[in-house]
Amino acid sequence: MTLTLFMTLLVILAVCVSLITEAVKKFLDDAGVKYSSNVVVLIVAVIVGAGGTALMYLFLGIAFTPPNIVCMVLMAVAVWVGAMVGYDKVIQMIEQLKNLKLK
């Protein structure tokens, strides 16, 4: 996997994880289910990160060799970290903007 492909996938998949996570959280809130946001992000990131990388391998005709499977696992972790950092920073910015308006 090239660096360009890795970075492109990381950005696209992290955005997808953030959007899907918000949809899942909305669904769980409407259903009245108690959950941990971090666990929801982790589950969604593993599915989207590994699944998105596997789909990319299929579309590009790349074989599923042991090093490529390791890359799928590492991509899932990278997407999870990227989504967590991005999500936390967005929430922090919204809170700061709310506090600015109140003063």
Q: What digits encode the pLDDT tens for the residues 58-86?
A: 999 999 999 999 999 999 999 988 888 76
* Owning domain of residue 78: 3-102
**How many CB atoms within 10 Å of residue 30?**
8
Q: What percent of the chain has pLDDT over 70?
A: 89
**In 32-65, which ranges are continuous DSSP H helix?**
37-60
**How many CB atoms within 10 Å of residue 71?**
20
Number of domains present in the structure of the chain: 1
Those residues with Cβ within 8 angstroms of residue 102's Cβ, 6 or more apart along the chain or in another chain = none
Tell me 32's DSSP state.
Answer: T
Confidence of residue 16 (pLDDT cuts 50, 70, 90): very high
Confidence of residue 39 (pLDDT cuts 50, 70, 90): confident
Q: What is the pTM of this model?
A: 0.76
Length, in residues, of the chain: 103
